[in-house]
Amino acid sequence: MQVYTKTSAKSSVVHIGLDDTDSTRGKCTTHAAYRITDYLLNHKFSEFVDYPLLIRLNPNIPWKTRGNGAVCLRFRTAYHEDVLDRLMDLVDHERLVASGANPGIAVYCGESIPPSIQSFARKALYDVVSRKMAEELAKRHQIRFFIDGNGQGLVGSIAAIGTLLQEDHTFEAVAYRKQEKCGTLRKLDSAQVVQYDTETFPYTFNNYDRSHHRVLILPHGPDPVFCGIRGESAEIVVSALRKLQISEKLEGHMVFRTNQGTNQHLQNEMGFADIKCYTAGFSQCRVDSRPTVIEGGHAIFSVRDPVGAVVNAAVYEPTDLVNIAAKLEVGDVIKIGFGVRKPSSKHLRILNVEYLQVLETKEIFETVNPICLTCNKRMKSEGMNKGFRCHKCGSRNKDAKKILILKPRMIETRLFVPTPRAHRHLTKPVHRYGMEKSLRSTSAITLCPAWFSKT
Ligand code: ATP
Provide the pLDDT for residue 3. 37
Q: How many angstroms separate the Cα of 242 from the Cα of each of 53, 69, 237, 246, 305?
A: 22, 25, 9, 8, 49
Provide the pLDDT for residue 8. 43
Q: State in Å, rounded, how far the first CA of the chain is from the last one.
A: 32
Cβ pair 338, 271 in contact under 8 A: no
Provide the pLDDT for residue 5. 36
Dihedral pair phi/psi, residue 226, rounded to 5°: -80, -55
Provide the pLDDT for residue 287. 98
Provide the pLDDT for residue 97. 56
Return d(Cα 227, Cα 217) in angstroms, integer.
5
Provide the pLDDT for residue 44. 61
Return d(Cα 423, Cα 232) in angstroms, integer.
17
Q: Which atom of ligand 1 is nearest to the CA of 150?
A: 18
Counting Cβ atoms within 10 Å, is residue 321 exposed (0-12), middle (13-18) or buried (19+)? buried
Nearest residue (by CA) to ligand 1, atom 23, is 156
Q: How many angstroms separate the Cα of 78 from the Cα of each of 44, 45, 83?
A: 11, 8, 9
Provide the pLDDT for residue 65. 78
Q: Which atom of ligand 1 is nearest to the CA of 70?
A: 7
Q: Which atom of ligand 1 is nearest to the CA of 21?
A: 4
Going from the first residue of the chain to its last (455 residues), give the mean pLDDT of each consecutive group of 10, the final group possibly shorter.
40 86 66 90 82 97 88 88 74 58 88 96 97 96 88 94 96 96 93 96 94 91 93 98 95 98 96 94 98 95 97 95 97 98 84 97 94 91 91 89 91 94 92 93 85 95
Return d(Cα 281, Cα 268) in angstroms, integer.
5
Cα of 104 from ligand 1 centre, angstroms: 10
Counting Cβ atoms within 10 Å, is residue 252 exposed (0-12), middle (13-18) or buried (19+)? middle
Q: Which H or E element spans position 120?
A: helix 115-126
Q: How many angstroms separate the Cα of 5 from the Cα of each of 111, 142, 287, 447?
A: 20, 10, 54, 31
Cα of 19 from ligand 1 centre, angstroms: 7
Give me the residues paired with residue 14 across strands: 75, 109
Q: Which residues contact 435 (CB under 8 A, 6 or more apart)?
A: 202, 232
Residues with CB under 6 A from ligand 1: 19-20, 27-29, 57-58, 61, 63-69, 102, 104, 124, 127-129, 152-153, 155-156
Cα of 152 from ligand 1 centre, angstroms: 8
Provide the pLDDT for residue 66. 80
Cα of 61 from ligand 1 centre, angstroms: 7
Helix, strand, coil percent content, the chain, rounded in steps of 5: 25, 30, 45
Alpha helical stretches, state H, 263-326: 322-325
Alpha helical stretches, state H, 163-293: 190-200, 234-243
Q: Which atom of ligand 1 is nearest to the CA of 129?
A: 28
Cβ pair 272, 350 in contact under 8 A: no
Counting Cβ atoms within 10 Å, is residue 38 exposed (0-12), middle (13-18) or buried (19+)? middle
